[in-house]
A and B are shown apart, each in its own frame.
Chain A
Amino acid sequence: MPRKVMAMAEAIRRFVPDGSTVALGLALEPLIPFAAGHELIRQERRELELVGPISDAMFDQLIGAGCVRQVTAAWVGNVSEGLGHCYRRACEERVPRPLEVRDHSNFSISLALWAAAWNVPSLPTRTLLGSDILRTNSGLVAADGLVHVEAVRPDAAIVHVQRADGMGRAHAWGPMGITEEAGLAADRVIITCEELVDAEVILSDPNRILFPETKVVAVVHEPGGAHPSPVQGFFKRDHAFYREYAEQSRTVDGYQSWLEHWVTRFPDRTTYMTQIDAASLRVSSHRMSVPVDYGYE
């Protein structure tokens, strides 16, 4: 039986090599695997192709660090603050390096991943008719009153969840964005989780399991691994942290000092977590759902 539980550094080293197409931030604003993104930066990954729906600051950070060759997404910026400054510099000034952009809408990037998940070359849709996005992305082709969305197949999807077991069976709750199609489309899935729990906890509610265990190659127990994004039942969104990042990343120097302060000087996420006010961000008022009954006789 494969050993899937490992530290973040090992998971990234083994499963996300240079040049990978990697999908992350798939539930939009919640559950963004920032700890994994920061490890990609620490390991100086290069030539990555990022895939996502909207990216709330995570893609911007990876782009600024020079890790990224291409972005395939519907929106890249900072959701509560606006523009992504590193994204702008890469597109407008080729700093720190040129960036290729494959534009999508939220609907079309979902369809591109479903197409890959279902192993077909493309899926048709009525969205994007009349949009210039069709002009800049050759993977979106209008014909016969429909737009045919070419499949996008990630090498790896990185997904942060509330809890998982050692085999990579993950429970996540809240809105899922395009998480499911990205995981099914990807060659392999890396799970990062708030809680690493016994299999019996997960298997007590199989409807909530996100992916087949056969897709999951690594499970990283990384509490707080989504900060500053929210995790339902665990962490609130750290709005001030996003604002601070937006302000500091306005200049290259400001971005570099942000990166040094929040990423490169730390060996791992555990050290990072000692530097944030986790107590005030942690959810303290819980709202438990009623358990369901899987009885059969």
Chain B
Amino acid sequence: MATNSYTPQELMVAVASREIQDGDLVFVGMRLPMLAYAVARNAHAPGARGLFEVGLMRDQPAAAFLGTMGDPPNVAGALWATRMSNVMALMAQGSVDLGFIGGAEVDRFGNLNTSYVGDPAQPKVKLPGSGGGADIAILSRRWVTLMSHESRRLVEKVSFVTSPGYGDGTPHWRKRNGLLGGGPAAIITTMCVFRFPELGGEAFLASVHPGHTVDEVRSETGWDLKVADDLSETPTPTRSELAAIRQFDPEGFWTRSA
């Protein structure tokens, strides 16, 4: 693939990597965030550390391709190989700066559903479940979710809140309900980036990826879209970001399949 072109997944990885600040302790998770962590660590966040719920802490990204966070290359050279409850202890103490969560459905208040589409007693679709998603959503200081932008995924109200964002969107919903962490910071989709007001609440369109339009985003979003006054175009992946992505995903397992 030419270096001046990129896939939607590669753009999402680059955008996600920019959410990681130098020195952050990042709860990494699976799939695209594993690559985002590697990209950030190689570029603007050389002091970041990654935590994996399987029971690992790392500084350097794994030296070989990862199909899962528990693959042997992620263990070799780790800063800590331990049990899950030890990793969760750090998150419960509020020490995790940023978490990543995958979602099947998200609503305008950033609530994620990865459990049931339809009635849990008779689901239309049974999704795999929380994994560590609910824990990250509740306990990490801030978190980001990545998903394919489709109207069936970005819905007015999720049918099941696996991982809470800003709940019903009323002021201080998280604090009132005793949630430790700050809540979602961004939703990164295949078309755009949503962000949230400083104190939480409803997502607004912050930037649109090159090649997409606000109208297109609106038609594929299941709620009445709010658009930022300073709406921008999402910066494209840099040459070095793409090089890092392709180094850690050489076969395009995560970034070049449909």
Contacts and interface: CB of A to CB of B under 8 A. Distances in A.
B54 A28 contact: yes
Contacts of A194: none
Nearest to B30: A79
B82 A175 contact: yes
Interface residues of A, number: 62
Contacts of A15: none
A242 B163 CA distance: 27
Interface stretch (A197-205, A231-239, A266-274): A231-239
Nearest to B183: A130
Given A29-B70, A92-B126, A174-B81, A106 B115 contact: no
A128 B67 CA distance: 28
Among B71, B76, B124, max chain A CB count under 10 A is at B71
Nearest to A84: B128
Given A28-B53, A75-B131, A80-B67, A130 B115 contact: no
Contacts of B174: 130
A110 B138 CA distance: 16
A105 B132 contact: yes
Given A74-B129, A88-B125, A237-B67, A174 B177 contact: no
A126 B138 contact: yes
Nearest to A175: B55
B129 A130 contact: no
Interface in A177-214: 177-181
A276 interface: no
Interface stretch (B5-13, B83-91, B195-203): B83-91
Given A131-B162, A136-B120, A181-B85, A174 B132 contact: no
Among B53, B128, B139, B180, max chain A CB count under 10 A is at B128
Interface in A65-103: 73-77, 79-80, 82-84, 87-88, 91-92, 101, 103
Interface string B183-195: 0000000000000
A104 interface: yes
Instruction: Kindly state the interface size class of chain B when it binds its partner.
Output: 35 or more
A230 B70 contact: yes
A188 B92 CA distance: 30
Contacts of B72: 30, 174, 230, 232-233, 236-237, 283
A92 B123 contact: yes
A287 interface: yes
A104 B114 CA distance: 12
Contacts of A173: 81
B179 A106 contact: no
A230 B71 contact: yes
A83 B130 contact: no
Contacts of A174: 70, 72, 75, 81
Given A92-B126, A177-B83, A132 B55 contact: no
A105 B130 contact: yes
Contacts of A54: 128, 131
B83 A130 contact: no
B83 A179 contact: yes
Contact of A126 (B76, B82, B178): B178
16 contacts: A28-B55, A29-B68, A30-B71, A73-B129, A80-B68, A87-B128, A91-B123, A107-B135, A108-B135, A126-B180, A127-B88, A133-B134, A146-B178, A175-B83, A176-B81, A177-B83
Q: List 7 A-B pairs, minimum CB-CB distance, nearest first.
A: A175-B55, A29-B70, A77-B128, A91-B126, A130-B164, A75-B131, A29-B68
Interface of A: 27-30, 53-54, 56, 73-77, 79-80, 82-84, 87-88, 91-92, 101, 103-108, 110-111, 114, 125-133, 135-136, 145-146, 173-181, 230, 232-233, 236-237, 239, 242, 283, 287
